[in-house]
Amino acid sequence: MTTTDSAAVCPACSAQGLEIFHEERDVPSHSCLLLDDVRHAREFPKGQLRLGFCGACGFITNVDFDASLSAYSARYEETQGFSERFRMFASDLAKRWVENYDLHGKTVFEIGCGKGEFLVQMVEHGAAAGIGIDPGVNPARIESEAADRLTWIADLYSEKYRHIQADAVVCRHTLEHISPVGEFLTLIREAIGERTDVVALFELPDVLRVLRETAFWDVYYEHCSYFTIGSLVRLFRRCGFEVLGSKLEYDDQYIVLEARPVASGHSVDIVSIIGEDDIPALADAVSHFERSYLATIDEWRERVGALTAQGKKVVIWGGGSKGVAFLTALGESAGIDYAVDINPFKHDRFMAGGGQRVVSPEFLVDYRPDVVVVMNEIYCEEIAATLESLAVEAELWSV
């Protein structure tokens, strides 16, 4: 049953009182940080997850999030850049942003640049220079003719970097890892200063889909902040930006938002964004998730358990956050020992929580799984092609 945490304050709009609709105890505090052995993987620090929904702005936050459990570093393997499907999407987006905002010959600053692939693309598509900041950045892994036009800072973005000026501030798959989202976006806005020709380009997961589909594998500790188009648009306006556009992309999984700063003391005509009035729909989705969460996990346990009980072999495809969340929810009794991933930096390392080993697709040639559970439907085609090329005949199930 939903309860109200009357002391909780919304990090996006500062309204007091959040509706608590989902709780998970002892979930791994990181899911993209792989461990060198099973023991360390199983003993990995755990955190508490208690999701609160703000009825005023629609933002969803883990009210029990403890940032001190975060350990983002170069060992963090979040990149999706080994997938051709994801690479093409990112390359198209980089090109589109450079062209639509005429960033030719200009500087792009990317906050939370991960391994840097996207910033490289923006520079290769015509930006003059790129500055990327991320504790997980690893310049040694970047191969590009544009390398001399790129600057990397291995750190979290903070007050200390507010002097960095650029024509575009890019931030992809990062805001959902930040708990004080209002403070964070305010810092970005203040750092831009009086310039109004700067563009802010953001991309992050849409929680409306997660809730409607009871996608429990998309709820995990690293994601402490969950947005819809509406709650993201409201946050940007509140922090001094004019939202130019926002829509869903990548099979409607991600929100892409483009904004410009509004000069202090000025106001602009608010252009309404399609889908921004989403609080009633979101409230329904929150109740749906709450009602269907346990039953959905049980269905998966039964589906997988029915096979493993007969001695059949099941693996998951995706050694990242979704995989960790999925396996943690199903529990050890599910009998899944391996997670396949195409990122070679993950191979033969172990997933936090259950300690499953991450293996290459080639591992399946000898292992011969009966079923491969794909952690993101969008990669099914790519995975089917890989299995075919390896002559592995397994059934593909998608979450």
Distance separating alpha carbons of residues 190 and 360, to the nearest angstrom? 45
Q: Cβ 56 to Zn ion, closest distance in Å? A: 5
Between 12 and 224, whose beta carbon lies closer to Zn ion?
Answer: 12
Among 8-16, 31-39, 180-188, 313-321, the segment contacting Zn ion (CB under 5 A): 8-16
Q: Cβ 269 to Zn ion, closest distance in Å? A: 24
Among 5-13, 239-247, 278-286, 311-319, the segment contacting Zn ion (CB under 5 A): 5-13
Q: Count residues near Zn ion (CB under 5 A).
A: 8
Site for Zn ion in 114-173 (CB under 5 A): none
Q: Which of 232, 235, 260 is nearest to 246 (CA)?
A: 232
Outline where DSSP puts E strands in 29-156.
Answer: 46-53, 60-62, 107-111, 129-133, 150-153
Give Dmax (Cα) for the chain: 68
Between 59 and 76, whose beta carbon lies closer to Zn ion?
Answer: 59
Binding track, positions 82-121, relative to Zn ion; x by CB under 5 A? ----------------------------------------
Distance separating alpha carbons of residues 22 and 14, to the nearest angstrom? 21
The conformation of residue 174, written as its DSSP 8-state character, comes to: -
Exposed, middle or buried: residue 158 (CB in 10 Å: 0-12, 13-18, 19+)? exposed
Distances (CA, A) of 44 to 71, 307, 331, 375: 11, 29, 15, 22
Distance separating alpha carbons of residues 345 and 77, to the nearest angstrom? 8
Site for Zn ion in 42-81 (CB under 5 A): 54, 56-57, 59
Between 285 and 304, whose beta carbon lies closer to Zn ion?
Answer: 285
HSE-up of residue 257 (Cα within 13 Å, Cβ side): 31
Between 224 and 336, whose beta carbon lies closer to Zn ion?
Answer: 224
Which SS3 state, helix, strand or coil, does residue 102 take?
Answer: coil
Q: Cβ 235 to Zn ion, closest distance in Å? A: 8
Distance separating alpha carbons of residues 96 and 98, to the nearest angstrom? 6
Q: Cβ 22 to Zn ion, closest distance in Å? A: 17
Q: Which of 342, 296, 302 is nearest to 86 (CA)?
A: 342
The single-letter code of the amino acid at 322 is: K
Going by their DSSP bridges, the two strands 129-133 and 199-205 should be labelled as unpaired
Binding track, positions 9-28, relative to Zn ion; x by CB under 5 A? -x-xx-x-------------
Q: Cβ 14 to Zn ion, closest distance in Å? A: 7
Q: Cβ 288 to Zn ion, closest distance in Å? A: 20
283 is a site residue for Zn ion (CB under 5 A) = no
Between 15 and 390, whose beta carbon lies closer to Zn ion?
Answer: 15
Q: Cβ 253 to Zn ion, closest distance in Å? A: 23
Residues making contact with Zn ion (CB under 5 A): 10, 12-13, 15, 54, 56-57, 59
